[in-house]
Amino acid sequence: MNFTIQNVLLAVEDDYTTQDVQIKDGKIAAISKGLDIIGEAIDGTNKLLLPGFVNAHTHSSEMWQRGIISMYPLELWLAELYDFAPLDTERVYLSALGTAVETLLSGGTTVVDHLVLIPQKEIETIAVAVEAYQKVGIRAFIAPLIQDQSLGAGIPSGESEVTHEDYFRSTQATLEIMEEAIDKFHKPQDGIYVALAPTGIQLCSDALFTGCIELSDKYNLCRHSHLLETKAQEKLAQEKYGCTAVEHLDKIGYLNYRTSLAHCVHLTDNDINILAETQSTVVHNPLSNLRLGSGIAPILKYRQAGVNVSFGCDGASSNDSQDLLEAIKIGSILHNVTDLDYQHWITPQNSIEMASHGGAKGLNLAEEIGSLTLGKKADLVMYDLTSLSLLPRTDPIGLLVLGRPKNVVDSVWVNGKQIVADGQVKNIKVEQLRQELFQHSQWQTKRKSKTVKEFEAHYRKIMGL
Amino acid sequence: MNFTIQNVLLAVEDDYTTQDVQIKDGKIAAISKGLDIIGEAIDGTNKLLLPGFVNAHTHSSEMWQRGIISMYPLELWLAELYDFAPLDTERVYLSALGTAVETLLSGGTTVVDHLVLIPQKEIETIAVAVEAYQKVGIRAFIAPLIQDQSLGAGIPSGESEVTHEDYFRSTQATLEIMEEAIDKFHKPQDGIYVALAPTGIQLCSDALFTGCIELSDKYNLCRHSHLLETKAQEKLAQEKYGCTAVEHLDKIGYLNYRTSLAHCVHLTDNDINILAETQSTVVHNPLSNLRLGSGIAPILKYRQAGVNVSFGCDGASSNDSQDLLEAIKIGSILHNVTDLDYQHWITPQNSIEMASHGGAKGLNLAEEIGSLTLGKKADLVMYDLTSLSLLPRTDPIGLLVLGRPKNVVDSVWVNGKQIVADGQVKNIKVEQLRQELFQHSQWQTKRKSKTVKEFEAHYRKIMGL
C-alpha cells in the first residue's frame, strides 16, 4: 500500500515546513520537498501531518455508563459501575467500536483497552473487542482487566476487622485464561497485542502479579496496571505491605520498560525515582482524576525526573468521553497551577511528543511508531487546518492542543492503511453504529447502587468524612 | 413570533419529562403535555430543551491570537497579547462574529464581551462589536475594557522604586467615552446592554472605579471587572491599599448585585463573606486559570457561602476556545480535587443551573431569563440527543456536562427568535466567516514580544522565581 502526501505541513523544531511524505509498504520511506509520487497522490495543502497519538488507558465498555455515574470518588464510583456493568458481548463489541471511532477522530491511532471481562465469558469478551478493533483498523492493545480479590478489598480496613468474600475465580484460572488469550489473540503483525493487566495493588495478590510477570517475560508482552489513583489506595498499600505500592511492585519485579501505570497520583519522591530507574511509563488520565476527585498527578515532577509520560482518556464513565485531544489539553495545562515557574510548564510541542512518542515508548513500540521518522510504520493523522475551530491561523500545534478542535481529523493511517478519509471512518458505517448505540440504551435518571449502600459508611469513616 | 415545541425532554427535579412548550410574543407562555399548537410547530422528539447559558466573561478580539501566546502567567501573557493585538475594526467585527457563533453552538444565548478597545477608535470598536452581535442575534453585554494606568503598573513593585509611564488617555476622557457608549448602544429591548468594566484593581485608579459606579447607578447598568486572578495581583492589592482587593472595592462601594467579577482565584474567607453580603457574582473561567497557572478558584467555598457563580470562557487566547460546554465541564469537575467530601461536589444539574440561572443573576436578569419559567423570555437551547457524542443514552444532562459533546446544538432561540436551526446559524453565513478568518491570518511560529523582554526579569524577581 503505497502513497504520497504532497505539500503537507510538518512540525520541525519550533517551526513548520511544507514537504511531501512517501509511504511504501506501510512505512515512511521519504520526507522531502518535490518527491516523486508513488502510489496514490494525496493533497496535503492546508493540512498538518502528525504521528498518531496513543490513547494509553481506557476501558471500552464503560461507554455504556457515560454521563450517569454519581459524583463519587473512585471506590464508590467502582461499586456503582460494577452494579450496572453490561454483561453481553454485543454491547462490548459496540462500545469497542465507539471507543475506536472517538479515539481515531481525536488524533489517536493506538488504543490500550484495559478491558473489563464478562464473568464466564472471558475469552468471548476479548474476542469481540479484538474483532471490533480489527474491523475499524486501529492499532489495539487488549489488556484484560484481571484481579483475584473482591471489590471491598480495595478499601482500606483501618482499625476494623473486615473480611471480604473470595473472588469468584482462582488466581490460577485467571492466569490460564490469560495464556489462552495470548495464544489466540496476540498478533502484532495484525496490529493486535495482548498485555498483562492486573488491575492494581488494591485487588491483586502477589501471586497474580508474579504470574503476570512470568507470562509477560515468556511472551515479551507489555504490563499495564492502575497505580495509586487515590488517597485510599495510598493508605491501603501501607496496610498491605508496610511500604508504598511502588516500592512493593519494584521489589516483586513488576516494573520495567514494558510496564505502563495508569494515574500515579499519590507517589513519593522516592517512588518517582523508582519509576525513572525502572523505565516505567506513567499514563496520565487528567479528566478521570478530576471527575473522581483523585487529585492532580505530579506530571511536571515526572518529566523533571525523566519518567516517560503518555495520555489516556480512561473509561468513558469517569471522563465521560474518549476525546484524546481533550485529555491532552487538560493533561497539559492542569499542571500550570502546581508550579509557579512557567519555564517548567508543558508546551503544546511537549504535549504532542508525550502523546505520540511517549505513548509508543510506554508500549515498547518506540522503534516502530510514535514519530515521523524514516523506516517507522505509517501511523499518521492529518488535520484539516481550515476547520473553523482552528481559525484564525496562528500556531497549528498550539491551536490543536490548547484550543477545542472539532471535526478536524481529515485522514488517519495505521500501518500505512487509510482508515479515515475526508473525516469519515472507512471500514464501518458510523451512522449504523450510532443507531445501534441509540437502540441498545434508554435515558435514565438516578439509579440505586446496592454496593454503594453497602460500602459507603465504611468508606466515609476510613477517609475521615 | 409564536411557536410550539412538541414532545421535548425537560429536566425536572432529578428526572426528565416529555412536554410541549408554547412561546408567545417571545415569552414562555405554557409548558404542559398535549398543548395546542400556536405558531410554528417544532418537533422536539429525542431532544432536550434547556435555558440558554451565559458566556459570562470573554474578550472577543483575543480570537486572533488563540493558540499562539507562549506558556506564560497572566502578567507576561498580557504583555505578549498587547504587543500583537489587532488594531482594525474589521478584525474586531469578525472575531465578535466568531465568538458569538462558538458560544451559540456550545449552548450559550448571552455573551459578556469585556471588549478591548482600539486606541482612538473606542466608539468605532464598540459599534462593530454591537453590529456583529445584533447580526447573529445573540444577547450581548458589551463591557468595554477600560483602565487608567499603563500595563507595567499591574506587576507589584516589591522593594524597588518603579515608575510607570502615564496611560495614554485621562480618566475623565475614558468616562466620557463610556457615557457616549451608553447613550449610543445600551438598548436592552434589542438585546444589547452596555456594562461598566474597569479591568481591575491592577490597572485602575479609585477615580475610575468611582466614575464607573456613578455611571452604573445613573443608568442602572451592570459592573464587570477582573478580580484577584493571580498571586501577583494579591500582592499588588496589599501594596496599593494595605488590605485585600475585595475589602478595598467594598469600601469604595463597587460591589453589589449588579457586579460580576471574573476569576476570583485568590480570596480570603473574609473576602468571600463580603461577596456574599454584597450579592456580587463570581465568573469562573477555569480553562484560562489553568492555562495561565493562576490557580484553582475556590468555587465550592463560594457555593457554600451563598455566592452566586457563573461560567465564562475568557478570551480565546487564554483558553484557547469559546466552547462554553468545555468551560462548564472543567469548571465543575476541577473542584473535586479540592475537597475530599464528594457530597460537596458540583453535580451536572448544579452546573446547568450555574450556567443559566447563575449567569442571568450575575447580569441582573434573573427575572427575565435563565430558567424555563412561564413569563420569562424565550432564551432557549435545544440539544439533539441522538448525536453520537451523547450516546449511548443515559442521563442527558450528565452526558452534556461530563461528556465532550460535539455538534449537539440543534436549535437556539433568543428573545423568542430562532437564530440556530438544524445546527446551522441562521443570520450569517458561517462558511463565509470561516473563509474570512482564514484569509485574514497566517500560520506563525514563535513571535518575540518586546514588552515581555522588558518585564520578565522584574516579574521573576518579584515572584521569587
pLDDT in tens, A35-89: 999 999 999 999 999 999 999 999 999 999 999 999 999 999 999 999 999 889 9
Chain B neighbors of A336, CB-CB under 8 A: 71, 290-293
Flag if B404 and A71 touch (Cβ within 8 Å): no
Provide DSSP, A237-267: HHHHHSS-HHHHHHHTT--STTEEEEE--S-
Nearest to A445 among B15, B345, B385 (CB): B15
B460 to chain A: closest CA residue: A341
Residue A154 in any domain: the answer is yes
- Mean pLDDT of the B402-411 span: 97
Chain B neighbors of A326, CB-CB under 8 A: 326, 404
Same domain for B280 and B296, yes or no, is yes
Interface check B404 vs A, CB under 8 A: yes
Interface check A345 vs B, CB under 8 A: yes
Instruction: Tell me what pLDDT residue A254 has.
Output: 98
**Alpha-carbon gap, residue B137 to B129, rounded angstroms:** 12
**Residue B417 pLDDT exceeds 90:** yes
Interface check A294 vs B, CB under 8 A: yes
Residue A370 in any domain: the answer is no
Same domain for B91 and B165, yes or no, is yes
Q: Mutation test of the interface with chain B: which of A339, A347, A395, choosing the one with the most B Cβ atoms within 10 A?
A: A395
Flag if B337 and A63 touch (Cβ within 8 Å): no
Residue A286 in any domain: the answer is yes
Write out the residue range of the structural domain in which residue B8 sits.
Answer: 3-50+376-423
Q: What ipTM was assigned to the predicted interfaces of this complex? A: 0.98
Q: Which of residues 1-60 of B touch A (CB under 8 A)?
A: 9, 14-16
B11 to chain A: closest CA residue: A445
Chain B neighbors of A348, CB-CB under 8 A: 67
- Mean pLDDT of the B400-425 span: 98
Residues near B189 by Cβ (< 8 Å), separated by ≥ 6?
none
What is the model's pTM?
Answer: 0.98
CATH number at A107 reads 3.20.20.140
Same domain for B228 and B198, yes or no, is yes
CATH number at B18 reads 2.30.40.10
Same domain for B320 and B411, yes or no, is no
- In chain B, the percentage of residues whose pLDDT exceeds 70 is 100
Chain A neighbors of B303, CB-CB under 8 A: none
Flag if A440 and B403 touch (Cβ within 8 Å): no
Interface check B345 vs A, CB under 8 A: yes
**Residue A8 pLDDT exceeds 80:** yes
Residue A294 in any domain: the answer is yes
pLDDT tens digits, residue range A405-460? 999 999 999 999 999 999 999 999 999 999 999 999 999 877 899 999 999 999 99
Same domain for B178 and B326, yes or no, is yes
Nearest to A394 among B389, B401, B441 (CB): B441
What angle in degrees, to the nearest 10, is found between the helix axes of B171-185 and B122-136?
A: 30
Residue B218 in any domain: the answer is yes
Residue B438 burial (C-beta neighbours within 10 Å; 0-12, 13-18, 19+)? middle
Residue A227 in any domain: the answer is yes
Coil, strand, or helix at residue A203?
coil
Residue B447 in any domain: the answer is no
Flag if B333 and A287 touch (Cβ within 8 Å): yes
**Residue A140 vs residues A99, A145, A427, B390: alpha-carbon distances, Å:** 11, 15, 16, 24
pLDDT tens digits, residue range B213-267? 999 999 999 999 999 999 999 999 999 999 999 999 999 999 999 999 999 999 9
- Of the candidates B322, B338, B362, which is a domain's last residue? B362
Residues A145 and A114: beta-carbon distance below 8 Å? yes
Q: Mutation test of the interface with chain A: which of B74, B77, B287, B340, choosing the one with the most A Cβ atoms within 10 A?
A: B340
Split at pLDDT 50, 70, 90, the class of B1 is confident
Residue A63 in any domain: the answer is yes
Phi, psi for B148 (deg, rounded to 5): -135, 20
Same domain for B304 and B330, yes or no, is yes
Q: Mutation test of the interface with chain A: which of B45, B65, B71, B292, choosing the one with the most A Cβ atoms within 10 A?
A: B71
Chain A neighbors of B294, CB-CB under 8 A: 337
Same domain for B243 and B358, yes or no, is yes
Number of folded domains in chain A? 1
Residues B294 and A337: beta-carbon distance below 8 Å? yes
Q: What are the cell numbers at A135? A: 474491523
A332 to chain B: closest CA residue: B291
Flag if B434 and A391 touch (Cβ within 8 Å): yes
Split at pLDDT 50, 70, 90, the class of A108 is very high
**Residue A367 pLDDT exceeds 90:** yes
Chain B neighbors of A463, CB-CB under 8 A: 340
pLDDT tens digits, residue range A126-138? 999 999 999 999 9
Quote the minimal CA–CA distance from A11 to chain B in Å: 10
Flag if A440 and B392 touch (Cβ within 8 Å): yes
Q: What is the torsional sign of CA A394, A398, A404, A407?
A: positive
Instruction: Tell me what pLDDT residue A449 has.
Output: 95
Split at pLDDT 50, 70, 90, the class of B87 is confident
**Residue A318 vs residues A66, A203, A293, A430, B399: alpha-carbon distances, Å:** 7, 19, 10, 24, 11
Chain B neighbors of A406, CB-CB under 8 A: 406-407
